[in-house]
Structure 1
Amino acid sequence: MKEKVQMSQKPRRTFTAEQKADAVAIVQQSGKPISHVAQEMGLTESALRQWVKQATIDQGGGKQGALTTQERAELTALRKDLKRVEMERDFLKKAAAFFARESSDPMS
């Protein structure tokens, strides 16, 4: 029987919007490659690259149709609301079907 080898992962770090903005500013102002700035700041290159990309989009740059941070937050909130409304609708459908059966039941 094979045993699963469990690799210990580093806990996921979180950064404030201010910390991200500071890191992006360093990249944009210094002209240094993202890899060097990431290494100097103790960040992963992929995280810093994503922050720079998102900051560019937020500043009006980036690809056509790319979502700004504000639009992304709004989309997340709308999806959450949609899920809640769909659950309420499904509940009401079931309740309506239940009461329809109750009222048509001749044993009542």
Structure 2
Amino acid sequence: MSKKHKTYTTEFKAEAIKLIEANQGNVSETARQLSISMQTLSNWNTKAKARTLAGTKQYSPDLNALLEENKKLKQQLKIAEMEREFLKKAAAYFAKESQ
């Protein structure tokens, strides 16, 4: 016989995350209180902190998209700043050489 896989609602997961916070972050105690696997609860907690667990206050698909876009824009800005710095040095070098 195979073990039946239990599915939890997003509301239950959100409440479990709130209970972890109420227990000062003690995942094992919260798992014991809810009679669920500590690993399952730990996975939910990790996802909630990463803002990818639906039903928690941290989760927002729009927010996740904005955070990704922000990360890409910061990378592009860093590259542009490096290019600008290189061009400044090149311009100074050629200006000095032409004199």
TM-score, reference length from structure 2: 0.47
Higher helix share goes to which structure? 2
